[in-house]
Structure 1
Amino acid sequence: MSRLSLYPVTLDGTDEHKKRQEIREYFRNTFSLFEKVFEVLINDEVFYNKSEITRHPMIFYFGHTATFFINKLINMKIIKQRINPEFESIFAVGVDEMAWDDTQSANYMWPKVGEVREYRNRVREIVDELISTLPMPLPITDNSPMWIILMGIEHERIHVETSLVLHRQMPIEFVKDVKEFNLCSHSAQAPQNSMIELRGKSVLLGKEKSHNLYGWDNEYGKYEESVEDFKASKFLVSNGEFMEFVQEGGYTNDEFWDEEGKKFLEISGAKYPTFWIKDEDTYMYRTLSKIIEMPYNWPVDVNALEAEAFCRYKSKKDGVKYSLPSEAEYRVIYDYAKLEDIPDFHESRANLNFYHYSSSCPVDEFSFNGIYDVVGNVWQWSRTPIFGFEGFVVHEAYDDFSTPTFDNKHALILGSSWASSGNLIMKYSRYAFRRHFYQNAGFRYVISNSKIKTQSDVYESDELVSQYCEFQYGDDSFGVKNFALESVKIATKFVKNRTKALDLGCATGRATFELARTFDEVEGVDFSARFIGVGVKLKNDDYIAYRVKTEGDLSVDKKISIEELGYENIRDRVSFWQGDACNLKPNFNSYNLILAKNIIDRLYNPKLFLGNVHERLESGGILVLTSPYTWQESSTKREFWLGGYKDENGTEVKTMDTLKSILGKNFELLHVEDLEFVIKETARKFQHSIAEVSVWRKIDL
């Protein structure tokens, strides 16, 4: 058959021209495959339907992967001009059911599908050209401009698979057959499962930066674990094996479900797996675009909560302790199967990468040294919540890819599925989802004595985020008062109507909460989900915990509760959102106050923000800017600086003069003062800075 999907390119090589050709072919294949996935939808009207209530309509995902390319290229200053600022705002974030993902349809005016197709074509042209022209020393490393292209490609590969899941959740009348997606045509009764004994060993997880395949930030670093002997099921759990659990009342017996599982049952009303369809006393099976007779020997598609409930049921039935495998135990299985970095690179002997089928297939079809579907067919839920390895460092282009999921709420999925391609099928790939999410995922069970180590308090260990936690919630240093609190004091002196405020560049959210003491509604917006995750945690979990570096590798843990801060009764007035100050979504409007703290000298184009900020304020609304004016090329290209340089005539350009020139058209300058702040880096090292605070009132023209 003709290949729908290509294997990923390597990062090494000696022939630059050949490598560019490989990347271009891989990019075009990815872009086309993603669009082929959307041909499953029966017409353009279906693009505006949601297949799952917590997700966006499908038009969002159709635009999202293309805008990802442009947003990352803009943020990394590889290109200067946006294609469509509106698209690159509304399609930017909202795919993982995070607290800051705005899925309220009323906040969006979705464009026509044809317009998004035209936009995608334009993105295709731009990326194609960049592949030919960007600097590309070999091997490609994570600080190369070409890495951002590969990041966009691999990001779209993820959405190839997740979009297929969403389409499969659509009502059957909204989808159609696409000939390239060929369904497995054979099934039979389920085979009898059995256990395979596996010898324990010391497992080393994580890969080196020098690895010759693209990787996401959570894959790098090091983690060692000694795995004891254990047993693993020979086959993935099939529809037939899972049927016993359903028929014996597994979904109605509370003893098999933990608290999260019971909540899932209450909300969903589930009585059997989501892709089963009950027709009187018979169960049918939903594939991507067809309803077929139950394929009993195909793997069951379930979420982690259902998989765990089955393990409890089987444990009680057999008198043996079953569980999902850990990440380290799965590596033992992987090594037992004698698999390499990319499974079956030259000849696929697994149901992955669309090579054999565009559906699941029998669980006893693909053997790996006597254990089946070690990779491929469906992903396998694990009992391991994703975390960062020792040495974990975020990539600055996508700093929120992993860290928001380090919360004990996202379980790793292992092994890949029939729809997995690119980085998803690599040995070191690490993907995690909330335990109630559906993917092309099932499970195998193990008999194991090892336990997963989790902590009740998840401490923020990202050094920069921890610094800001201490900056906003920690102790004062050298007699300098808390900057967030003092900024709010200054700002609120000038505001009469206190209906709605925006804390722009909210970081970890202290000023957002503080504004809520006197405002009815406050929205905190920051570019980084790593930062707003702190505010979200304080609001939802009642505390924040973080590690403060003292010296070298030493640190101290700190924990602060919402009660200690006095915010427990105002939390409902606060919400946090991820957003780009230069390109905010249109629903961020009608404010009485916008407090923009220390961001204008960190924006890639501050004039974009300043040029339309008045449109987001009510008549007479107040804009407060704070900044130390530390202009630097790493944040803002010199041509976009507002000050700190000499013009062509040798005249010094000061930031305040530029602010007056831009804002003077729509604002009256009310007040200027200096405000100190101190950021603690270690027990003996501090940053002591002075921000200029300027207060502006919107004038009626």
Structure 2
Amino acid sequence: MATELSREDFLSGPYTWKSMRPCDLSNCTKKQILDYFENSYSLNESIFAALKTKDAFYRAPDRLRLPLIFYYAHTACVYINKLMLAGLIKERVNFEYETLFETGVDEMSWDDTENYRMGGSYQWPSLENVVQFRLKVRNVIRKVIEDTPLELPVTQESKWWALFMGFEHERIHIETSSVLIRQLPVSLVRKPDEWVSGPFTFGESPVKNPFLPVEATEVLMGKPRDFPSYGWDNEYPQLKASVPSFEASKFLITNREFLKFVQAKGYDNEGLWSKEGWKWRTFRQAKHPSFWVCNEGCVSGCGGVLAGHSHCQPDVNQNTSTYRYRSFCEETAIPWDWPVEVNYHEAKAYAAWKGPDYRLPTESEHNAMRDQQAPNSKGTESDLIFDKELHKKSNINLVFGTSTPVNMYPANEKGFHDVFGNVWQWVEDHFNGFPGNETHHLYDDFSSPTYDGHHNIILGGSWMSTGDEASKFARYAFRRHFFQHAGFRLARSASPDQDVPVRLVLNPAQQDHEPSEVSLPLEDTTKKLVLTTNRQLLTETQTCADERLFNEYVLDDINLSSALRKVCMGVAERHGTKVSRALDVGCGCGRLTFELSREVEQVIGLEYCEVFLKSAEEILSNKQKVFYCPKDDCRRPAKRLKKSTHNGCTITAKLPSGTQPSRITMKQFTWIPNEVSGFDLVVHHCLERVQNKKAWLIRLWEILNPNGIVVISGLGDWTREKLEPMVGDKLRYLETLAVHYGLDYWLTEADKETWATVWCLKTREDVQSA
């Protein structure tokens, strides 16, 4: 029998279930920062006290997620990675762990096969070794806080921002891990010390849930860039929105209310579900909310050795009840007055069951339901997470370890309960950046990959939300099938023909995107579409791929890729660098990667754009790819063309002769991770199309081998003065070159003036020592 887990087995510091308020970045001391760090770090470790044995760390509660040991180690790894990027530390703690635990899995599809990034049989490090890793990281961060001069206010440009990024990332994963622990078999968990469950009832049960009117208004969403608390990129900047009058339910929808939908066979009625929702319901064979337990052996969704487990087994102690309830760490009778926790699909099916006028609130409507806010100019006192009386107003920031009755906390000025706290609330809007949104160079891909039209917003925080998650500015996104401590309330417009202030994402990358799939009482949802603010997604179309293929392959041996290869190898030769391993960053459809394989033993092509990379892989494996000509005025030689039924032409792109496919590996990443390192040559030529240029440059010095060379190629008005602040002080310039295209036959007179400017760099230390 496995030995019961003790605190010494998983803690690198004190045990706690109490959450502090965040720091005021305009007026905080090192002591306050250190205390907040210690609280964040300890909270994340302490929730694992809910596991009974060490063995539970190596179980996968969700088939689309990794075992819990990954999430336990992941946050410490992110600290080190971000502090290295920011220049706050010069040495890593454990590069193997900082690579292994850097990247999890993204639940982009509910029907993915079991996704273990390392493979299902991977042997994870021992808990003892991971605890020692977390302890070493803890001590590193303590020293950074103690030794780094503190200049106030801390802003996004400050190196201290990297520390606060680590604190708030840790707090996100407190909630992430709590959801996963909640999905484990109840036999693997226990009640932690100091964990407190909420009461099942409070006063008279809220059997009725009336709709309350909200007058037409204008709301200000988003966070001022100079607000003195940490924020994630998607929270900035601010956006004014007009909100027509509407009604919304006084309470969150309760388990009692949702039971009627279940009893009415709502899970069996395809007509109540969206097309996407019904596919999910069918795949999961869902019969009730995921955190309800019945006695019919329902599919659990666990992974690995738990794949055959079912939470829904007969309970000999409570066999008189049809349903039971699974909280964070125990199974109980159903708390009927608590909010139901469901995904977006289930919430929308319930709304459809209630009637055609019912829907979820929009993001702007959720803002309109809130109390009159103190002006942001008041600083942190205008944000609820800094309120010293918050524990009396909302079930948030770990007041309890579960939900609470929807009528327990007082209504706000407009009559609504739980606008903040208890459970996250699904809204109708797709997740997207506000106009003018910018990513941060330390975490370029935190939000932007989810601006894709397949993620919906959740607002308001849950009982488990702390730090930034419990802020009034917090806005997070999940796939619509996602399980979270999330519920919903209903809304409806004041009149059937009234506008719905919803923002839906137009994402060119999703060729199958169907605005009509959105279940809203709108005649034309296309009028509500806004373009994704992730500029990188704009290239995820076949048209862009065809254009890219034309540029890389039709221009043949005199194109830029061929010229760049010659430049790279020439620079390496002049500076005494033997190139055995090369990285092509922004490899597009692979042409430069293929060209480099002529002379380099191992070449990795890294690309964020999936449609580009698939074209490269097809050429690499099949030796050719046929694509449609992207130009209306086709002036290429007839021998290259084949007439198609589209009254245009098709072109065949082939692997150039003399290249070496066995030397090539293609990888898709939205950043340059630790697992991509150790190169003699790095060629970077995608700066014109990435979200945050600095984010794609600041790791270059670390992935170079001694005496390695970086070649940065760009078009347009690039100058050394613009580039230098982005590459940082770890690289220095060797030489600047200009390479002419030389395409006299195919290019117009204007095109002939285009030059590719190439900067060649090395690590500063190498150059100085030479």
- Tell me the TM-score range normalised by the shorter chain: 0.7 to 0.9
Q: In the alignment, does 2:471 pair up with 1:426?
A: yes
Q: How far apart, CA to CA, are the structure 1 residues paired with 2:237 and 2:199? A: 42
Could you tell me which residue of structure 2 aligns to residue 207 of structure 1?
Answer: 223
Q: Displacement, 1:594?
A: 11
SS of 1:223's partner is: strand
Which of 315, 339, 346 does residue 355 from structure 2 map onto? 315
The alignment yields a C-alpha RMSD, in angstroms, of 4.2
SS of 2:47's partner is: helix
Could you tell me which residue of structure 2 aligns to residue 290 of structure 1?
Answer: 330
Could you tell me which residue of structure 2 aligns to residue 401 of structure 1?
Answer: 446
Letter in 1 for 2:176: T
Could you tell me which residue of structure 1 aligns to residue 69 of structure 2?
Answer: 59
Q: How far apart, CA to CA, are the structure 2 residues paired with 1:93 and 1:685? A: 43
Could you tell me which residue of structure 2 aligns to residue 216 of structure 1?
Answer: 232
> Cα deviations across residues 233-264 of structure 1 (Å, max 9, x unaligned)?
01100000000000000001001110111111
Distance 1:422 1:472, change over 3 A: farther
> Cα deviations across residues 646-690 of structure 1 (Å, max 9, x unaligned)?
xxxxxxxx899xxxxxxxxxxxxxxxx979699xxx999977224
Which of 402, 405, 408 does residue 365 from structure 1 map onto? 408
- Which stretch of structure 1 is more off in the superposition, 59-68 or 180-189? 180-189
Q: How far apart, CA to CA, are the structure 2 residues paired with 1:375 and 1:257? A: 28
Could you tell me which residue of structure 2 aligns to residue 576 of structure 1?
Answer: 668
Letter in 1 for 2:165: M
Letter in 2 for 1:106: G
Q: In the alignment, does 2:116 pair up with 1:103?
A: yes
Q: How far apart, CA to CA, are the structure 1 residues paired with 2:279 and 2:146? A: 51
Which of 416, 426, 429 does residue 381 from structure 1 map onto? 426
Letter in 1 for 2:504: T
SS of 1:110's partner is: coil
Distance 1:460 1:508, change over 3 A: farther
Q: In the alignment, does 2:294 pair up with 1:278?
A: yes
Q: Displacement, 1:473?
A: 4.5
5 Å-filtered alignment, 1:73-88, equals 73-88=83-98
Q: How far apart, CA to CA, are the structure 2 residues paired with 1:509 and 1:337? A: 43
Distance 1:305 1:686, change over 3 A: farther
Letter in 1 for 2:196: N
Contact 1:352–1:421 under 8 Å retained in 2: no
Q: In the alignment, does 2:248 pair up with 1:153?
A: no
Q: How far apart, CA to CA, are the structure 2 residues paired with 1:612 and 1:194? A: 71
Q: In the alignment, does 2:360 pair up with 1:324?
A: yes
5 Å-filtered alignment, 1:492-641, equals 493=598, 503-508=604-609, 512-520=613-621, 576-577=668-669, 580=672, 583-584=675-676, 597-598=683-684, 602=697, 604=699, 606=701, 608-610=703-705, 627=712, 634=725, 638=729
5 Å-filtered alignment, 1:460-471, equals 461-462=533-534
Distance 1:255 1:509, change over 3 A: closer
SS of 1:335's partner is: coil
Q: Displacement, 1:472?
A: 9.9
> Cα deviations across residues 199-219 of structure 1 (Å, max 9, x unaligned)?
110122122111122111111
Contact 1:413–1:432 under 8 Å retained in 2: yes
Letter in 2 for 1:58: L
Q: How far apart, CA to CA, are the structure 2 residues paired with 1:416 and 1:171? A: 25
Q: In the alignment, does 2:132 pair up with 1:121?
A: no
Contact 2:209–2:251 under 8 Å retained in 1: yes
Letter in 2 for 1:61: Y
Q: How far apart, CA to CA, are the structure 1 residues paired with 2:754 and 2:428? A: 41
Q: Displacement, 1:399?
A: 0.7
Could you tell me which residue of structure 2 aligns to residue 181 of structure 1?
Answer: 195
> Cα deviations across residues 526-579 of structure 1 (Å, max 9, x unaligned)?
xxxxxxxxxxxxxxxx9x9xxxxxxxxxxxxxxxxxx98979xxxxx9762456
TM-score by length of 1: 0.75
SS of 1:11's partner is: coil
Q: How far apart, CA to CA, are the structure 1 residues paired with 2:101 and 2:596? A: 32
Q: Displacement, 1:24?
A: 0.8
> Cα deviations across residues 271-311 of structure 1 (Å, max 9, x unaligned)?
00001001366100011111111111011011111111100
Letter in 1 for 2:244: E
Distance 1:158 1:581, change over 3 A: closer
Contact 2:453–2:507 under 8 Å retained in 1: no
TM-score by length of 2: 0.69
SS of 1:447's partner is: strand
5+ residue gaps, structure 1:
523-541, 545-562, 568-572, 587-592, 614-623, 645-653, 657-672, 694-701
Distance 1:511 1:366, change over 3 A: closer
> Cα deviations across residues 458-478 of structure 1 (Å, max 9, x unaligned)?
45655688799989945869x
Which of 592, 596, 606 does residue 487 from structure 1 map onto? 592
- Which stretch of structure 1 is more off in the superposition, 148-157 or 333-342? 333-342
> Cα deviations across residues 420-442 of structure 1 (Å, max 9, x unaligned)?
11011111111111111111111
Could you tell me which residue of structure 2 aligns to residue 255 of structure 1?
Answer: 271
Contact 2:432–2:505 under 8 Å retained in 1: no
> Cα deviations across residues 591-634 of structure 1 (Å, max 9, x unaligned)?
xx999532899464647543799xxxxxxxxxx98655999764
Could you tell me which residue of structure 1 aligns to residue 213 of structure 2?
Answer: 197
Could you tell me which residue of structure 1 aligns to residue 284 of structure 2?
Answer: 268
Normalized per residue, the structure richer in strand is 1
Q: Displacement, 1:138?
A: 1.1
Contact 1:604–1:635 under 8 Å retained in 2: no
SS of 1:130's partner is: helix
Contact 1:135–1:146 under 8 Å retained in 2: no
SS of 1:64's partner is: helix
Q: How far apart, CA to CA, are the structure 1 residues paired with 2:37 and 2:229? A: 15
Q: How far apart, CA to CA, are the structure 2 residues paired with 1:639 and 1:594? A: 16
Letter in 1 for 2:353: Y
Distance 1:683 1:397, change over 3 A: farther
SS of 2:328's partner is: coil
Q: How far apart, CA to CA, are the structure 2 residues paired with 1:270 and 1:401? A: 31
Could you tell me which residue of structure 1 aligns to residue 181 of structure 2?
Answer: 167
Percent pairwise identity: 31
- Which stretch of structure 1 is more off in the superposition, 275-284 or 200-209? 275-284
Q: How far apart, CA to CA, are the structure 2 residues paired with 1:323 and 1:495? A: 58
How many residues align? The count is 593
Q: Displacement, 1:109?
A: 3.8
Could you tell me which residue of structure 1 aligns to residue 261 of structure 2?
Answer: 245
Distance 1:257 1:507, change over 3 A: closer
Q: How far apart, CA to CA, are the structure 2 residues paired with 1:398 and 1:266? A: 36
Q: How far apart, CA to CA, are the structure 2 residues paired with 1:97 and 1:655? A: 43
Distance 1:331 1:461, change over 3 A: closer
Q: Displacement, 1:132?
A: 1.7
Q: How far apart, CA to CA, are the structure 2 residues paired with 1:356 and 1:464? A: 41
Which of 23, 30, 35 does residue 40 from structure 2 map onto? 30
Contact 1:582–1:606 under 8 Å retained in 2: no
Letter in 2 for 1:584: V
Could you tell me which residue of structure 2 aligns to residue 668 of structure 1?
Answer: none
Contact 2:249–2:489 under 8 Å retained in 1: yes
SS of 1:203's partner is: strand
Distance 1:219 1:121, change over 3 A: same
Contact 2:395–2:409 under 8 Å retained in 1: no
Could you tell me which residue of structure 2 aligns to residue 342 of structure 1?
Answer: 384
Which of 138, 148, 172 does residue 152 from structure 2 map onto? 138
5+ residue gaps, structure 2:
1-15, 296-313, 315-320, 375-380, 509-530, 562-587, 631-648, 654-664, 687-695, 744-749, 762-770
Contact 1:30–1:157 under 8 Å retained in 2: yes
Q: How far apart, CA to CA, are the structure 1 residues paired with 2:446 and 2:392? A: 31
Distance 1:119 1:521, change over 3 A: farther
Q: How far apart, CA to CA, are the structure 2 residues paired with 1:471 and 1:482? A: 17
